[in-house]
Structure formats: C-alpha cells, structure tokens
Amino acid sequence: MPPNEYTVTTDKRRLDLNAIHAFLSQAYWSPGVPMAVVEKAIENSLAFGIFQGNEQVGFARVVTDKATFAYLADVYVLEAHRGKGLSKRLLEEIQAHEELQGLRRFLLATKDAHGLYAQFGFKELANPSRMMEMWNPNAYNHAP
C-alpha cells in the first residue's frame, strides 16, 4: 500500500491502546510501561495515530499547553511499515497541527533518530546548562 493509503489522525477513539502499549512496553525508552500509564499519557496529550486501513502502524503524542511549549514523545512506526516515509509524514502532520502553531519551545529526546528530527528543525539544545531534569528510571516499578 503506498504511503498515501495510510491515514494520520488525532481521533483518540480510533487509537488501538493494546497495540500502542504492546510497542511502548518493549521500546528502549519505556520498557515495562503499564497499560494504565499509557492510557493516562494519551488522555493528557495530543495523540497522533498512523493507520493502514483499520490497523494502527504508528503513533506519536505531544504534551503541550498549546500556547508556548510542547514535548514530542513516544514516536514510532512499526518495523514492517518503515522506509515508506511515514515518520516524515507524521512529523509534517504534527508540525502543521493548528494547536501547535506559534510555540516558543518544542522539545524531544531521542537516542538514534537525530537525522530525522533535524530535517524538521530540531537541534541540540542551544544552552544545555539551562536545562535540568528529574530522572526516575524505576518509575514503572511503582506504577498502577
């Protein structure tokens, strides 16, 4: 199926929570994430699903105040659907979304997709010394 036969939607009713959880619970950035955490994260984010027909083949979510700040998270395309431009299409849809215009800062974290995100204007932090974090790698050990 060509890339134009895939659809991208922000309709949360279409999202396949089981498929999203199955991927995220095995992803390097969220191993073992509980379903309840995935559900809550989606509920409180602007979520984007990529579908081939009724099958969900990709996902991303944006945590945002819709005015000044956004954080891109949980971006993936299933391996069988990679190499078709879907991640680029997903990022185009995210950047074009009406509720994500005029933001002062848009952040993300990635281990291995710097080249992809650079094509969409993401860069290394200009002033990393200004950024701080609270990091709890064992958070899911205590999640519901």
pLDDT of residue 4: 67
pLDDT digits (tens, 9 = 90+) for 38-54: 999 999 999 999 999 99
CATH of the domain at 10: 3.40.630.30
Domain tally, the chain: 1
Q: What is the C-alpha to C-alpha distance for residues 84 and 142, in angstroms, rounded to an integer? A: 38
Hey, what are 129's tokens? 């010394």
pLDDT of residue 1: 43
Q: What is the mean pLDDT of each run of 10 residues along the chain (144 residues)?
A: 79 98 96 96 98 97 98 98 96 98 97 96 95 90 64
Structural domain range at position 135: 3-141
